[in-house]
Amino acid sequence: MIAALTPETLVLAALAVPSVAALLIPLFHRAPNLRETVTLAAAAALAVIVWSLLPHILAGVRPEVNLFRILPGVELAFQVEPLGMLFALVAGTLWLINSIYSIGYMRGNNEPRQTSYYVCFAIAIAATMGIAFAKNLFTLFVFYELLTVSTYPLVTHKGTPEAMRGGRIYLLLLLGTSMVLLLPAIIATGVFAGTLDFTPGGILAGKASPAILGLLLALYAFGIGKAALMPFHFWLPAAMVAPTPVSALLHAVAVVKAGVFTVLKVVIYVFGLDLLTNMGGTGWLIYVAAFTLIAASLIALRQDNLKARLAYSTVSQLSYIVLGALLASTTSVIGAGMHIAMHAAGKITLFFCAGAIYVAAHKTEVSELDGIGYRMPITMTAFLIGALSIIGVPPLGGAWSKWYLGLGAIDADQLFVVAILMISSLLNVAYLLSIVGRAFFILPSSEPAAVGSLSAARNEQGIAEAPLACLIALCATALISIALFFAAGSLEQLVRAALATPPLQEGIQQ
């Protein structure tokens, strides 16, 4: 049935399904099971929709939907290109898994205000789809801001003073950077280029002086605060006060990937790789990204709070993608695009595990996790898989994106970047595998009397895993991390299609 729909209808459906879900969920406020059914049904429908869009995109179709004109020359319009397809696939698929996890987590924790939680979540996903399918910078900006505003209630969900403080930083930093830096950049792009449409090959070539272009690039790089380039990364650790499913899907996948996705879109479709390579002025931004990459890893190393450690790890991993985009060689951009999917699968697994540990054992600090592997073997095995993928060990997805990023750095004659990538991988090992090590090889310190072997400790405590819904979700994402290693070829093909200029333009004119 879905196959019979035109790709244009599918695009609209991808936007409509989560929006309708957001409207329906409050109706079932008093019937939690029905309410969660709405979320699950919408998530399943969205997953089917985005996956059935994929064959069209691979066949070279670029479905386009022009909704309406907002201002003269500025339209709310959508067009699916390969990169957006990739982002939509990642977010759409993981929303389904995350919804299953959410139910286990929110009920397991008896969280308050679950209805508004699911509503905001659905709106955030709708906004993510809008970002993924945006045809022009303006549409992207509208949904970018909607994503910030709709996730603010999720960050402050707990309602504690700490949550309020986190929410304040979140809102001020994200809205602040986007309004003060990104919006002027978009307006200036419109004035210079005369259009805001994403166009293969870019729209800015020859339209402004190198100095202005350099300024614009910096405005974009820092203005897209969701990409968490230092010094505008504070919002991400602050957002960790949110319930873990929010951190998992939004602050490891949807929101942060919306940031780096926007950076990639700007690099590929607004500047164009040729212009970026030739214009100069990108060098210092590459250093900023490289600095963020290392510095965030070092900070992660010192975090005892598990979610904070994962958050800084995300900051660092996002810079891989920004770095890949700024290097502006074909290979590095492919690596950056692939890393969106690879990091998403790996990091969401890690967050799922962190949430599972919180639900089952009420532990939040790394130092409390001694021996937890014996109580929660499935969870910690999934954690290991996720961690290895982030580090980039074959046969896990993360290996490929780092491989391409490294090759891209060599292509771009930036050998120091290769060194940076290697150092960072070592740091990843240090801050992620140390957690696994504690979980499996150190005895719980709370029981100093236990002199026996580790297996004795295991027998005493017994297995106490998180609710089944949580387990299903974290196993699924761990398996995806493995599957991505073998699916890397098609992933690479998809991202490469975004860079292929000539056939694309024919597709647009159709």
Residue ranges that bind other proteins, judged by CB under 8 A? 68-72, 76, 141-142, 145-146, 149, 153, 156, 159, 163-164, 167-168, 171-172, 175-176, 179-180, 183-184, 187-188, 190-191
Give least dist CB 187 to other proteins, A: 5
Give whichever of 72 and 231 is closer to other proteins, judged by the CB atom: 72
Give whichever of 23 and 180 is closer to other proteins, judged by the CB atom: 180
Give least dist CB 308 to other proteins, A: 22
Q: Round to whole Å and give the CA distance between 473 and 70.
A: 40
Check residue 240 and report its DSSP letter: G
Contacts of 74 (CB under 8 A, 6+ apart): 136, 138, 190, 196
Q: Round to whole Å and give the CA distance between 280 and 272.
A: 13
| Helical ranges in 25-113 per DSSP H | 32-58, 82-108
Largest CA distance in the chain: 76
Give least dist CB 257 to other proteins, A: 20
Give whichever of 154 and 340 is closer to other proteins, judged by the CB atom: 154
Give least dist CB 145 to other proteins, A: 5
Give least dist CB 190 to other proteins, A: 8
Using CB atoms within 10 Å of the CB of residue 283, give its burial: 0 to 12 exposed, 13 to 18 middle, 19+ buried. Answer: exposed
Q: Round to whole Å and give the CA distance between 370 and 387.
A: 17
Q: How far is CA 488 from the centre of its chain?
A: 18
Mapped onto helix, strand or coil, the DSSP state of residue 158 is coil
Give whichever of 164 and 422 is closer to other proteins, judged by the CB atom: 164
Instruction: Output Rg (C-alpha) for the chain, integer angstroms.
Output: 22
Give whichever of 68 and 110 is closer to other proteins, judged by the CB atom: 68
Give whichever of 165 and 302 is closer to other proteins, judged by the CB atom: 165
Give whichever of 157 and 375 is closer to other proteins, judged by the CB atom: 157
Give least dist CB 270 to other proteins, A: 17
Could you tell me the two tokens for 287?
């250093």
The backbone region for 201, taken as left when phi is positive above 0, alpha when psi lies in -120 to 50, beta otherwise, is left
Give whichever of 69 and 302 is closer to other proteins, judged by the CB atom: 69
Give whichever of 209 and 490 is closer to other proteins, judged by the CB atom: 209
Give least dist CB 151 to other proteins, A: 14
Residue with tokens 């929660």: 376
Give least dist CB 176 to other proteins, A: 5
Residue with tokens 């002027």: 184
Using CB atoms within 10 Å of the CB of residue 195, give its burial: 0 to 12 exposed, 13 to 18 middle, 19+ buried. Answer: middle
Give least dist CB 66 to other proteins, A: 14
Give least dist CB 123 to other proteins, A: 12
Closest among 274, 271, 291 to 329, alpha carbons compared? 274
Using CB atoms within 10 Å of the CB of residue 415, give its burial: 0 to 12 exposed, 13 to 18 middle, 19+ buried. Answer: exposed
Give whichever of 45 and 171 is closer to other proteins, judged by the CB atom: 171
Strand partners, 79: 64
Mapped onto helix, strand or coil, the DSSP state of residue 13 is helix
Give whichever of 183 and 454 is closer to other proteins, judged by the CB atom: 183
Give least dist CB 20 to other proteins, A: 18
Contact 212, 220 (CB under 8 A): no
CA dihedral 327, 328, 333, 335 (to 10 degrees): -30
Contact 478, 385 (CB under 8 A): yes
